[in-house]
Structure 1
C-alpha cells in the first residue's frame, strides 16, 4: 500500500507523506542548547508536528551514542487536575515507563518500583530524575510533552521539582530537559489555593530559551503534496498550490487534511489516472469545513476563553480600527495559532476565517426555522438574491434583539447573524467566502451558486457580492463609502450582482426607518442597497 496524508497522531515515516521532522525545528540550535546543558521550551499550536519532531530528536540523540534520551507524554496526569498527590505520581509513572522503553535501561524501573512510595509527591520527580542520571552511563536528556496540559498544584510542583534538581546536572540530574506544549512557559497560569495566580515564568525561571515551531513554508506544502504524485503518478493542477497556501498558510494539519480529503475522500480521485483540478480542490476545501473535523471543532472551545475572545471579537468587529490589548494576550492567541501578528494582526489563514464565524453561529444557523432553500430558487435554477435579502430584513427585524443577546461576540452580532442566515440557505447548494479584518470597516461576502445542477461547480456560476457595513454617523457618508467598497470588491471577483447591507444599530430609530431598499450605481456598477 502506498503512503498517505497523515491527519492523526505522530508521523510514521514509512506510512506518511512528510517533511523531515528535524527540518521543522532549528536542530542546530537545539543541539547547542543540549551541549550547553540548557533547559528550554519548544512550543507550537496543536497538530503542528511537535510530537513527530520530538520523537525524531530522541532517535537522533540516542543514535549518536553520546546521550540517553527519553520522550515522555505526561498528558495523563491532567486527570488529577490540581491534586499533586495524584498528578505527580502519574507523571512520574509515565516518565519512568518512557525511560525504560526508549533507553533500554531497566535499572531505573526496578529501583522506582521498590522505592517510589517512600518519596512524597513533592519530591518524587526530583528523586526519580536524580536516580536516572546516576544510574545511566551516558548523560540523560528528557523530552517532556504536553506539559501545559497540567494545571494548578500539579504543574507548579512539576516545574519546581525540575528546578530543584537543576544545579545537580549532568551527574545527578538530566543534562537537558525540553518542555513541550501549545504555550510558552510564560503563559502557564496556575491558581494555587490561598495564593494569587502563579505564572510559569516565576515557577520555572531556569528556562534558557523558548523555541516556537513554525508552519510549513510554501515550498514545503508543495513538496509534501508532490510526494503523492511521485508515489502514485496522480497529477495536481498547478493552480491548486497558491490556493492551498492562501487557505492554510502552511498549518500542517490543514495541509495534510486537505490532501487526504482531495485524494481519498473524493472517490473519483482514487483513480490515480484522474488529474485533480482547482475545482476538485475547492470542493474538498468546502467538505473539510462542513465536516467540523476535530481540529476545526476545537477552535470553538478556544473562542470562549476570555483572552481569545477579546482579540477575535475585535477582528470580527471590522469597524474597530485598532487594538488595545495586553501584549501577553496577543502573544497567547498567536501561540494558539489562531492569529498572526505580522505584518498586521489577522486571522491565521482563510480556512480559519471561514470556520470561526461558522462555529460562532452554528447553533443559531441550526435553529433558524421555516427557511427552505427552494423558496429562493428561480425557474432557471439561479438564486433569487432580492427575495433572499428581503426575507433576511424581515427575519432581522423580528429576531435581531433576542438572537443577538445569545451571541458571545455581541459587537459583531449583525454580521454574524446574517452569515448564519445565509449559510442556512446556501449550504448544500452553493458556497460562501468571506473577507474581514481589523479596520476594514466592512465584511465582504462572495456567494458562488452553480446554475447547472448536473455540472455543479464545474459548470456556469452565479457570483454574488454582499457587503456588510455598520451605520456610523451620517447615512450619506456610510452609503458613499459602502458603494465604493462594494463596487471595488465586485469588480475584483467578477461578480454578476452586487449588494450593500447597512445595519443601523441605534435602538432609538424605529424599524420602519431602518428597513428600506434602494438601487444605486457606482462607476457603472449596479448596486442594490438594503437597510437593516
Structure 2
C-alpha cells in the first residue's frame, strides 16, 4: 500500500508522507531546558503537529540513558469542567493508561490506581507524580497534551498540583514538564465555579519558557509533496508550489489536506501517470474550502470569541485600529494561527482569507437572489458595469437591514459586497481577496472563465475591484484609491479595474452617496463607484 497525506491525527511514519517532527522544534533548546530541570510551554494552533512532535520527543528521550519520558493526552478531562473530582480522576486515568502503554509495563496501571485510591482529588495528581517519580530509576520528563482543553476549577487544580510538587524535582517529581496546547499559558482565562477569573500565569508561575511550534517552511511544503512523486512517480506542475505557499503559508493541516484532496479525493488523479496541473490544484482548493472539514469549522467557530472579533473585524473593515487593540488580544489571535504580524498584520494565509468572509456571510449568500446569468454578455464575459449598477441599487435598498444581521458589522459594506459577488461567481469563477490593514482597503480579484468547456484552462476574464471606506475627503480617497487599484491591477494582470467607495455617514442622503464615473490613472481606465 502506498503512503498517503495525513489530514487527521498524529503522523504515522510508516503510512504518511511527513516532515520529521523532531526537525520542527529547536531540539537543542528543548534538551537544554530538560537538563536544567525546567517546566515550560509548547503551544501551536490546532492540527499543526504538536502531538506528533511530543510523541517523537518522548521516543527520542527514551532511547537515551538519561531520562524516562512520558506523553499523556488529558483532553478527556474537559467534560468535567468545574468538577475537580471527576476532572482530576480523568487526568489520573489518562496518566495511568499512557504509562502502561508507552513504558510497556502492565503492572503500572493497577499500581497507580491503587496508590491514589484514597487520596483527595486536590492532591491526587501530585501524589501520583511523586510516587511514580520515586519508583523510576531515571528522572521523569512528563509531557501533558491538550492542557488548555480543561476549564474552570479542574484546570486550576491541575496547575496548582503541578506547581506544588515543583520543589521536589527530580527525585520525587518530574525533572522537567512540558505543558502543550493551542494557547500560551498567559492567555488562559480560567473561570472558577464562584465566577472568579484566574489567569494561567498566576496559577502556574514556574514557567521558564514558552516555545511555539511553527508552520512548515516553503521548502518543507515542496519536500512533503515531492515525497508523493518519489513514491508513485506522479508529477506536480512546478507552477503549483508558489500557489501552495501563498494559500497555506505552511499551515501543516492545510498543506496535507490540499494534497489529499488533489491526489486522492480527485479520483482521476488516482491514475498516477496523470500529471497534476495548476487548474487541478485550484479545483482541489475550491473543493477543500467548500468541504467545511473539522479544521475549517473550528476556524470559523473562533470568530465568535470577543477577543478574536476585535482583531479580525479590524482586518476585514481595513480600519487602522491595530494600535488601539490590546497586545494580549493580538498575541492570542496570532497564537490561534488566525493572523500573522510580520512583515505586516494580515489574516494568516490565502485560504483563511477566503473562508472567513464566506462563512461570515453564508446565510446572506443563501438568501440573496442573484444569478450570474443576469450579468453575462453574449461573449460569456461578465458585464461589470451592469453588475456594479445592480449592487449599487441593492446596497441602497438593503444595506441597513442586511448589515445589521452580521456579527461583524464594522466590516458590513465589504462583507455585503463580497457576499453579492460570491453568489454571482459561485460555481463558475473565483474571488480572491486581500486585506490591507493600514492601507484601508480590500482588494478583490475576480476570475471568470469565458469558455465553459475549457474552464480555467481556456480564456479567463480578470477584474480587480478595490473597496474603500470614505474616512477622509472624497478627493483624497479617490486619489489614493486609484493608485492602489492600478497597482493591484498591474500586479494581478487584470484586464479591467474598478474602485468602490462606501460612505457610511448616516446624515448624507443616498442621492449624494450613489454615483459612478470613469477616471484615468496612468495606463488604466478605472470605473469609480460611490455607495
1:100·1:109 contact (CA, 8 Å) conserved in 2? yes
Residue aligned with 2:422, SS: helix
What is the rounded CA distance, in whole Å, between the counterparts of 1:241 and 1:524 in structure 2?
32
What is the rounded CA distance, in whole Å, between the counterparts of 2:233 and 2:520 in structure 1?
51
1:382·1:451 contact (CA, 8 Å) conserved in 2? yes
Residues 39 and 185 of structure 1: CA distance in aligned 2, closer, same or farther (over 3 Å)? same
Residue aligned with 1:467, SS: strand
Report the alpha carbon displacement of residue 195 of structure 1 after superposing the two structures with TM. 6.3
Give the corresponding residue for 1:169.
169
Give the corresponding residue for 1:223.
223
Give the corresponding residue for 1:244.
244
Report the alpha carbon displacement of residue 88 of structure 1 after superposing the two structures with TM. 0.7
Give the corresponding residue for 1:439.
438
1:108·1:131 contact (CA, 8 Å) conserved in 2? no
Give the corresponding residue for 1:17.
17
Q: Does 1:349 align with 2:349?
A: yes
Report the alpha carbon displacement of residue 115 of structure 1 after superposing the two structures with TM. 4.1
Give the corresponding residue for 2:469.
470
1:500·1:527 contact (CA, 8 Å) conserved in 2? yes
1:108·1:135 contact (CA, 8 Å) conserved in 2? no
Residues 35 and 477 of structure 1: CA distance in aligned 2, closer, same or farther (over 3 Å)? closer
| Cα-to-partner distance string for 1:277-299 (whole Å, 9 max, x where unaligned) | 22222222222222222212211
Report the alpha carbon displacement of residue 117 of structure 1 after superposing the two structures with TM. 3.2
Q: Please, which runs of 5 or more residues in structure 2 have no aligned partner?
A: none
Residue aligned with 1:520, SS: strand
RMSD, matched Cα:
1.6
Q: Please, which runs of 5 or more residues in structure 1 have no aligned partner?
A: none
What is the rounded CA distance, in whole Å, between the counterparts of 2:195 and 2:262 in structure 1?
52
Q: Does 1:500 align with 2:499?
A: yes
What is the rounded CA distance, in whole Å, between the counterparts of 2:195 and 2:300 in structure 1?
31
Alignment of 1:399-418 (within 5 A): 399-418=398-417
Report the alpha carbon displacement of residue 372 of structure 1 after superposing the two structures with TM. 2.1
TM-score (structure 2 length as normaliser)? 0.97
Give the corresponding residue for 2:128.
128
Alignment of 1:8-87 (within 5 A): 8-87=8-87
2:116·2:127 contact (CA, 8 Å) conserved in 1? no
1:314·1:323 contact (CA, 8 Å) conserved in 2? no
1:303·1:309 contact (CA, 8 Å) conserved in 2? yes
1:108·1:132 contact (CA, 8 Å) conserved in 2? no
1:107·1:135 contact (CA, 8 Å) conserved in 2? no
Residues 66 and 105 of structure 1: CA distance in aligned 2, closer, same or farther (over 3 Å)? farther
Give the corresponding residue for 1:392.
391
What is the rounded CA distance, in whole Å, between the counterparts of 2:505 and 2:453 in structure 1?
46
Report the alpha carbon displacement of residue 455 of structure 1 after superposing the two structures with TM. 0.3
| Cα-to-partner distance string for 1:97-156 (whole Å, 9 max, x where unaligned) | 111111123444223333433111101101111111122232222111000000111000
What is the rounded CA distance, in whole Å, between the counterparts of 1:171 and 1:441 in structure 2?
58
Give the corresponding residue for 1:184.
184
1:315·1:346 contact (CA, 8 Å) conserved in 2? yes
Residue aligned with 1:11, SS: coil
What is the rounded CA distance, in whole Å, between the counterparts of 2:192 and 2:387 in structure 1?
54
Report the alpha carbon displacement of residue 85 of structure 1 after superposing the two structures with TM. 1.7
What is the rounded CA distance, in whole Å, between the counterparts of 1:519 and 1:120 in structure 2?
77
1:4·1:17 contact (CA, 8 Å) conserved in 2? yes
What is the rounded CA distance, in whole Å, between the counterparts of 1:169 and 1:477 in structure 2?
65
Q: Does 1:144 align with 2:120?
A: no
What is the rounded CA distance, in whole Å, between the counterparts of 2:367 and 2:83 in structure 1?
41
Count of residues in correspondence between the two structures: 531
What is the rounded CA distance, in whole Å, between the counterparts of 1:23 and 1:241 in structure 2?
21
Report the alpha carbon displacement of residue 329 of structure 1 after superposing the two structures with TM. 1.4
2:100·2:109 contact (CA, 8 Å) conserved in 1? yes
**Range with greater deviation from structure 2 (466-475 or 138-147):** 466-475
**Range with greater deviation from structure 2 (179-188 or 318-327):** 318-327
Q: Does 1:517 align with 2:516?
A: yes
Give the corresponding residue for 1:461.
460
**Range with greater deviation from structure 2 (341-350 or 49-58):** 341-350
| Cα-to-partner distance string for 1:194-217 (whole Å, 9 max, x where unaligned) | 464211111111112111111111
Give the corresponding residue for 2:100.
100
What is the rounded CA distance, in whole Å, between the counterparts of 1:491 and 1:59 in structure 2?
52
What is the rounded CA distance, in whole Å, between the counterparts of 2:137 and 2:184 in structure 1?
32
**Range with greater deviation from structure 2 (173-182 or 473-482):** 473-482
Give the corresponding residue for 1:119.
119
Residue aligned with 1:118, SS: coil
Residue aligned with 2:161, SS: helix
Residues 524 and 23 of structure 1: CA distance in aligned 2, closer, same or farther (over 3 Å)? closer
Give the corresponding residue for 2:333.
333
2:444·2:464 contact (CA, 8 Å) conserved in 1? yes
2:82·2:193 contact (CA, 8 Å) conserved in 1? no
What is the rounded CA distance, in whole Å, between the counterparts of 1:264 and 1:411 in structure 2?
41
What is the rounded CA distance, in whole Å, between the counterparts of 2:437 and 2:445 in structure 1?
19
What is the rounded CA distance, in whole Å, between the counterparts of 2:523 and 2:334 in structure 1?
42
TM-score (structure 1 length as normaliser)? 0.96
Report the alpha carbon displacement of residue 322 of structure 1 after superposing the two structures with TM. 4.4
